[in-house]
Structure 1
Amino acid sequence: MTPLVEPFRGSAAVAGGVLTPAQLRGPRWQRVLPDVYVAAGVELTHELRARAAVVLLPGAVVTGLSAAWLWQVDVDGPDGAAHSSRVEVTVPPGGNARVPGLLVRRRALPDHQVGCPPWLRDVPTLWPDHAALELAADPARDHVESVVVLDQFCAAGRASLTSLRRAATGWSGRGCRLLQAALRDADGLAGSPPETRLRLGMRAAGLPAPVAQHRLVRATGQRVKYLDFAWPHLRLAVEYDGSNHVLTSTRPEAGFALPKDRRVLNEVQELGWQLFYVTAPDHRDLAGVVARIGSALAARAAQLGVPLHPAS
């Protein structure tokens, strides 16, 4: 790929005699940011806009939702950073940088917090652990959505609860309490934001704590399925089944194959387990679906003649 197909400074191309001003304004090139161009026909993705930002502002680091997206974590789901034309970058303190199409923040970032995704080696980006922590500490998010951020980074394999908690050591200032509370409640196991919201909803309602991603096995030791939320002492599990889940889940098994899925579910039931399904529309009334899960748990405990809450 030639340099002119990558984002480039129009003024530099003109000064170097590569293009004339008239050619730059012609149909072969399109403007991405002020004085930054790319070949016409190239899709203006969020990634390309981020590349253009660091061309325009040397020393800039991609941060915020844009950093999450470059690390392939879209914490806000299908309507998040991927569809935003505004890229967030952080530049060193001093001066004034107002650029249409960019959200520019000014502060010093320690070197250890910055790296480049392997597939974007020329785009300095806030390291995943620190990107996750900053998004989770944003006061614009409530507690549940802060936990969602941390779980999504873990689900995408960009961070772990251990690395997040290590990176948060000594964290102070804006959003500190929100962040620490989110770190306590994240489990790093949810495959999608709705699963995190459902888990926290069940916890807030005082339901027995489920085992997330419970590995159900046959007597032979062969795995049958990972259950989203399971109460092994009741042999009852909650499965999240919805288009929203399929679109946002990072787990390979989230791809829905109906015949195979139905065979697996039959085997789950043959092993004596009862399944409770939660679908995407159920989240319009999260309190209602949590109440129904609570009723199902109580009924199952009565059916089996065991305590609702397992002995600790």
Structure 2
Amino acid sequence: MDTPSGLHGAHRRGEALAALGDRRLRTAIKSGVLRPLWTNVVVDGSRFLDPLTRGAAALLVAGDDAALSGPTAAWLHGCRAVEDAAVHITVRPGRTLKQRPGLVVHHRGMFSRDVVDVLGLRVLALDRVLSDLLCSVRAQDGLALADEALRNAGAEPEQLRSAIATQIGSRLDPRGTVRAALLLDLASPRSRSPAESWLRWGLVDAGFPIPEVNWPVTGPDGTVHYLVDLAWPSLRIAVEHDGYAAHVGREEADRLREIDLCKRGWIVIRSRAADLGDLGRLLRELRAAFAARGYTW
């Protein structure tokens, strides 16, 4: 059955009705070709879970004076460190748009100047999105998002960092801004995965000095032999995170790498996925390593 094109597969029910007629529309819904999502909105059944489709549907519900925001906007800007199945949308104060299952409504003033077009959708700009999320999500998730955004910025991460800092400083709501500024300072474009970001926050939050991210270990001729995930170079202490996807099938290579680092005078502590849920073992080993270097606090 031919259906209206719609933006990313989202349609106002009235427009679908005008294009198909009542009988064909009911048939399309009954067969799953089209599926109701929210009031007066239907979407292509094959794209029901597509974030683009759901974002377009949310904008159809909210009208012109709205923009996708929060984790939804971050996803559209290519920052996927924080997953949220709900669509987040921002409208001006006083709007009566209500939250409903799968749709989170934020009321914010002075956001229209920060709206950009992403794939035909009205979306808050990345610097505004990051300033909001750094103030509101869990600290480790905020750091992971900031790391990812700076990494994606290519040759201009510091320009993006400055823009985010400006947004934080100009927020009408000051709650969370002190922590947001701290996380932004800690963020690094050298971080390669959310797990590394979560781990780094856990160590800093436990009181350890801020580690270098993906620190290059070089030979006498300056050749880079390894990039150490987290490092305190002056103490020659390293934490290597063994994420499953990046390290499966590399166990022997990782073992030989650790042996070589130890020969070069490094203390190497390995972190695994389970440690992200409970840092106790890792923190004990890391404190022992710092004590072995004569560092106490």
CA distance in 1, matches of 2:230, 2:98: 47
CA distance in 1, matches of 2:60, 2:5: 12
Alignment of 1:1-312 (within 5 A): 3-4=5-6, 6-15=9-18, 18-26=19-27, 27=31, 28-59=33-64, 60-76=66-82, 80-81=83-84, 84=85, 86-98=86-98, 100=100, 101-117=102-118, 120=119, 122-138=120-136, 141=137, 143-157=139-153, 160-175=160-175, 176-243=177-244, 246=245, 254=246, 256=248, 258=250, 261=254, 264-265=257-258, 267-269=260-262, 271-299=264-292, 301=293, 307-308=294-295
1:7 Cα deviation after fit: 1.3
2:144/2:198 contact within 8 Å kept: yes
Equivalent position of 1:249 in the other structure: none
1:93/1:106 contact within 8 Å kept: yes
Query: What is the count of residue pairs matched by the alignment?
Result: 281
CA distance in 1, matches of 2:180, 2:249: 38
1:278 Cα deviation after fit: 0.8
CA distance in 2, matches of 1:265, 1:288: 19
1:239 Cα deviation after fit: 0.5
1:205 Cα deviation after fit: 4.4
2:11/2:41 contact within 8 Å kept: yes
1:49/1:87 contact within 8 Å kept: yes
1:3 Cα deviation after fit: 1.3
Q: Normalising by structure 2, report the TM-score.
A: 0.79
1:204 Cα deviation after fit: 4.5
Runs of 4+ with >6 A deviation: none
1:201 Cα deviation after fit: 3.8
CA distance in 2, matches of 1:198, 1:40: 39
Say if 1:192 and 1:34 are closer, same or farther in 2 by CA, change over 3 A.
Answer: same
CA distance in 2, matches of 1:197, 1:107: 29
2:130/2:146 contact within 8 Å kept: yes
1:167 Cα deviation after fit: 2.9
Which SS does the other structure have where 2:147 is aligned? Answer: helix
Which SS does the other structure have where 1:3 is aligned? Answer: coil
Structure 1 spans left out of the alignment, 5+ residues: 247-253, 302-306
CA distance in 2, matches of 1:262, 1:135: 38
2:48/2:54 contact within 8 Å kept: no
CA distance in 2, matches of 1:38, 1:204: 44
State the identity %.
25
Say if 1:182 and 1:38 are closer, same or farther in 2 by CA, change over 3 A.
Answer: same
Q: Normalising by structure 1, report the TM-score.
A: 0.75
CA distance in 2, matches of 1:142, 1:2: 41
2:267/2:289 contact within 8 Å kept: no
